[in-house]
Amino acid sequence: MPEAEDVNIVIEDKDIEMDTYAASSAGGQNANKNQTGVRIHHKPTGLIVNIGDSKSQMQNKEKAFSVLKARLYQIEMDKKIEKEKNIR
């Protein structure tokens, strides 16, 4: 999968649904009592990304968006490759 820094994908607010949840990750009581996990659902593609690795909800949110962008980029690249195959 491509690195998140290489991805130039724009995600509109209307296309996503974001939830938070109590993640069971390293972070002890903070992770268990706070809603640190982030779940992003990209409605147009149906992709769902769950990240709960960090004690910080903000870090998990940033990582979830990076993963989502990378997956969307990969989908676009796969479409482009398939289109080029069909042209030949």
Domain containing 21 — which CATH number? 3.30.160.20
- The answer to whether residue 29 sits within a structural domain is yes
Q: Name the phi and psi angles at 44, rounded to 5.
A: -60, -35
3-state secondary structure of 17: strand
- The answer to whether residue 6 sits within a structural domain is no
pLDDT at 87: 81
The C-alpha atoms of residue 88 and residue 66 are separated, in whole angstroms, by 33
Q: What is the pTM of this model?
A: 0.79
- The answer to whether residue 31 sits within a structural domain is yes
Domain count, the chain: 1
pLDDT at 73: 92
- The answer to whether residue 54 sits within a structural domain is yes
- The answer to whether residue 17 sits within a structural domain is yes
Domain that holds residue 45: 11-87
pLDDT at 70: 92
Angle at 16 between CA 10 and CA 19, to 5 degrees: 130
pLDDT tens sequence for the chain (88 residues) = 555 455 478 899 999 999 999 877 565 665 567 888 999 999 999 999 999 988 889 999 999 999 999 999 999 899 889 988 888 6
- The answer to whether residue 2 sits within a structural domain is no
> Which segments of the chain does DSSP mark as H helices, in order?
28-33, 57-87
